Amino acid sequence: MKNTHDSNIFFLPQKALEKSNVIHSSCYRLSLSILRRAEHDPVAVPIEKLNCTALITDSEIFFADNNRTIESEGMKGHPVMISWHLHLAEARDISEQHIPMKTIFYEDNLEEFQQQLTGEFYKSLMLMDQSYRDGPIPVIENQIKSLDTQIG
């Protein structure tokens, strides 16, 4: 969603639940490859089947709901539903099969959605990788804001 500064705004609500989880290393490596080919981060990856957007940084991935728009401090944006916070220091090597992470849910009852998200996110990464294989990934500025502080 664009605002007058030609950027997308995503809002980070208060967390509802936190769980330990893992991400497959191939998913993380593909995320990093896409991030390195973009002009700046976070990079937005549309996940059309689930009508959400993934926002990739080097150690965090945020998933926002494209169906809802909220307003805060005169800005409109999409709320983050789930975020993944990778524990890269705990992974001896990113080529290991799984990398530990913390999953934060910003709404209740999203565990089943999280299961779908894991597979659909990887498919969306592969699609973006194929679409921009021979060049940089064009992106506009994406901002992740909490109620009072910008975090990305």
8-state DSSP, 38: B
Amino acid at 9: I
**Which are the contacts of 60, defined by CB distance < 8 A and separation ≥ 6?**
83, 84, 85, 86, 152
Please give the C-alpha separations between residue 88 and each of 20, 72, 76, 79, 92, in angstroms, as whole numbers.
14, 33, 33, 26, 8
Q: What is the pLDDT of residues 12-53, one digit of tens each?
A: 999 999 999 999 989 999 999 999 998 888 999 999 999 999
8-state DSSP, 138: P
pLDDT at 49: 96
Interatomic CA distance for residues 40 and 140, integer angstroms: 8
Q: What is the pLDDT of residues 77-105, one digit of tens each?
A: 999 999 999 987 655 555 667 889 999 99
pTM of the model: 0.88
